[in-house]
Chains A and B, each alone.
Chain A
Amino acid sequence: MKKKKIYPMYFLIIPIVLYVVFFLLPSILGIAYSFTDWNSRSMDSVKFVGLDNYIEIFTSDKNYISGILNTLKFTVVSNIVKLIPALFLAILLSEKLKGKGIYRTLLYMPSILPFVIIGIIFTSVLNYNNGLLNIVLEALHLDFAKQKWLSELSVVWKSIYGVDAWRGIGYVMTIFIAGLSTIPRSYYEAAQIDGANFWQRLRYITIPMLSSAVMINLVFGITYGLKVFDIVYVLTKGGPGHATEVITTYSYQLYSNGQYGLSTALNTVLLVVTAVIGVFVVKKMSKQEVQQ
């Protein structure tokens, strides 16, 4: 039976035009420019150079490859660090608890803070000599735990994951809470009658029924991780040295130096990586949907 359409097809024209002009076209132009020597001095005389920029990225002394690897590492680790605690927090805050509304709000608040604010606050808190964290550790006689949080190579990534988790857990948790609320209580009651403990209930009921929430968080988390710039830049600017450089910080540096062609080539590499992962995730999701 032909469903009566509420809105005619030509309503789509304006959104499609806006999308094409402001999103699709610049992306395609960007990819095209990545095959040229576009830079700040040759604004009117751009020359086609083929794959030179890409060869530069993969063979340069400047180690862009470590930036790409750091980005992938960040994507994987930051998601693990956020999803697992968020899941447990969500389970905790779905129980009958006094004031759970307040706790949920408090946990969610960091994700509405602008990154610049987070950067300013945490560079101060994590300062080795005068930062709040080290001073508190000293006061508690835990001097051995004092670290150069943002300038020691062995610790700097952990600091970034920590700050990123502090910021992002609330959001992930909120999605899980929404997912948990759809699981009927009767399943848990039935399982408890059968003698299942917390971990078994988690494994056989919670996680399977939360698969769509997990998928949502994974998709958001993966795209965030691959595009990460703000949290790294405001904390370390890619330093110390080049230890915390990611694709986007290198791209930003290249842009600042006026090497626009190389910068867009790096962004195109990011686009390809994101597209491959995106296609894979979407395929998995649709398989899951079909199963369900």
Chain B
Amino acid sequence: MKKKLISILLMVSMTAVLLAGCGGSNDTEEGSADSGNDFAGEELTILVSAGWMDNRYDETIERFEETYDVTVDVQTIPADQYSDVLQSKLSTDSCADIFWIQSNPFAIESVIVDPEQYCIDFTGAEWKDKMPESRLSSCEYDGKLYGLQIWHNSPEYVMVYNKTMFAELNLEVPSTYEELLTICETLAGADVTPWFMPGADGWQHQLAFFQIGGAYEDDKPGLYDTLNNNEATFADNEKMLQVLEQFKELSDKGHFGEDWIGTDSTNMMNEFADRSCGMAMANSSFIKQIQDETDSEDEYGLFLIPLGDNDTYPTNPSGPTMFGYNGTEHPELVEEFFNFVTSTDSLQEILNNSPAYTNVDMNDEDVEQHWLPEEEEFMATIDESKTGTPVLQTGTKYTNDYWMNFGADMVAYCQGTMEANDVLKNMDTNRAEAAKVAGDAAWE
């Protein structure tokens, strides 16, 4: 009898505790909606990849939190996992209020796939005019505005080189591959890694192939259009094969460093400062970083990647772009955020907090830019007619989605386990797969 009583008591108390838990949360939800201003107490969540926001938006976000009495939860995902996480969240309807993608003229279709379902339609927003015309193609789809792209317009991933070292060794800036090879040999002779190549990152070394897209277009005018209409392939393209072979030659000769495949970019700045390397692919703002964060007194400069005798500028109308998630519980707060972050004050804060970037590419004359003299000097040497073609990964469909796979294949090629043409063939196969799945008529 006693045992039965105890077991009944236990069951009742267990049930009571369970129900208390459920009941309690309902009460607090109803309570908070009535107090303060429209948004007070709400939480705005942002899903972003490492490198796209970092600390640059912290000041602006703090001000936003104070102004609207809300909290902002920035969920930063490591870069190599971001696209998996985003895809899972979108397909399970559990995405944050705001999410980012690396956008380009084709990315909305290939990454988000159905922007009408997943994105808030911002058509008519005031901040549209703040974005430069060239970036709109990465933010709009089917005539509607979905994304906001706040990025810089500095030369991206061109060659940064140690001007002082070059002067000491009587080296001139190369404009052809042969000149580059000679320079590499001289630098190697001086016990310096000629071209620092962080292969272990997995996403940097293929820039040498893709950033010179204009060279492929110049070699075969109309190439991009034919690639986008399935009338041409990467495979058997002579210029591309030539560039891959040149890349492998530099690798075989050790000009990328003894173990470029196993080296990542964490120490790149110090390698420059210690004079252990002569050049590397980097953004122009990297020069400012070296000057600010190391005690190097050398001068640095920029030149175009000369693989394939390239002389075209890597125009890239793309960048990390933010979108509002259509399934959010507070769409007005999201709209407020987009308005807030495009104000002159916010843009200035974001620029000031970005030591790696020297300007913010928005139509706002009140923002004080920080252009580097090296950038201005470099841009002055660029021929306007050579800036028309976007880089290969942005100008052609379905290519950027297989960035990492192409990089792995390039490494396999450099190690002798794959042929150059097979690297290109794999890209064609991948693009065909993506096109078929997207229902692209050109690939039927």
Contact = CB atoms under 8 A, between A and B. Distances in A.
Interface of A: 37, 39-43, 61-62, 127-130, 148-151, 153, 237-243, 253, 255-259
Name the residue among B418, B437, B438 with the largest chain A CB count within 10 angstroms: B437
B415 A153 contact: yes
A253 B405 contact: yes
B438 A240 contact: no
Contact of A40 (B91, B261, B408, B411): B91
B324 to A, nearest CB: 21
Nearest to B90: A40
By size class, the interface of chain B is 35 or more
B62 interface: no
Interface in B234-285: 258-259, 261-263, 267
B401 A240 contact: no
B25 interface: no
A52 B91 CA distance: 25
B229 interface: no
16 contacts: A39-B437, A42-B437, A61-B422, A128-B263, A129-B259, A148-B258, A151-B259, A153-B415, A238-B408, A240-B262, A241-B418, A242-B409, A243-B415, A243-B417, A253-B405, A257-B402
A61 B423 CA distance: 10
A265 to B, nearest CB: 14
Name the residue among A61, A149, A241, A242 with the largest chain B CB count within 10 angstroms: A241
A148 to B, nearest CB: 5
A62 B423 CA distance: 10
Given A127-B262, A237-B80, A240-B199, 9 more contacts: A40-B87, A41-B438, A128-B262, A130-B267, A239-B261, A239-B411, A240-B415, A241-B412, A256-B83
B113 interface: yes
Interface stretch (B153-161, B174-182, B425-433): B425-433
B113 A128 contact: no
A241 B259 contact: no
A255 B91 CA distance: 13
Given A238-B408, A241-B408, A241-B418, A258 B437 contact: yes
B433 A259 contact: yes
B355 interface: no
B141 to A, nearest CB: 15
Interface string B194-217: 000001101000000000000000
B34 interface: no
B84 A255 contact: yes
B287 to A, nearest CB: 24
B408 A61 contact: no
A127 B257 CA distance: 13
Contacts of A253: 405
Contact of B262 (A39, A62, A151): A151
Interface in B336-356: none
B416 to A, nearest CB: 8
B415 A41 contact: no
Nearest to A131: B262
Contacts of A240: 199, 261-262, 411-412, 415
Nearest to A252: B84
B401 A257 contact: yes
B409 to A, nearest CB: 7
Nearest to A62: B426
Interface in B393-408: 401-402, 405, 408
A129 B430 CA distance: 35
Contacts of B422: 61
Nearest to B410: A241
Contacts of A43: 91
A151 B408 CA distance: 12
A127 B429 CA distance: 34
A149 B426 CA distance: 28
Contact of A243 (B412, B413, B433, B438): B412
Contacts of B425: 61
Contacts of B259: 128-129, 148, 151
Interface string B68-107: 0000000000001001100100010000000000000000
Contact of B261 (A37, A130, A151): A151
B266 to A, nearest CB: 10
Contacts of A130: 267
B80 to A, nearest CB: 8
Contacts of B412: 240-243
Nearest to A149: B262
Given A61-B422, A243-B412, A243-B415, A40 B84 contact: no
Contacts of B414: 241
A58 B91 CA distance: 30
B261 A148 contact: yes
B113 A129 contact: no
A169 to B, nearest CB: 26
A256 B84 contact: yes
Contacts of B199: 151, 240
Name the residue among A43, A61, A242, A257 with the largest chain B CB count within 10 angstroms: A257
A270 B433 CA distance: 24
Nearest to A150: B262
A128 B258 contact: yes
Nearest to B422: A61
A5 B132 CA distance: 78
Nearest to A134: B259
Contacts of B258: 128-129, 148
A129 B415 contact: no
Contacts of A257: 401-402, 405, 430
Q: Which 3 A-B pairs have the closest CB atoms?
A: A241-B412, A151-B262, A128-B259
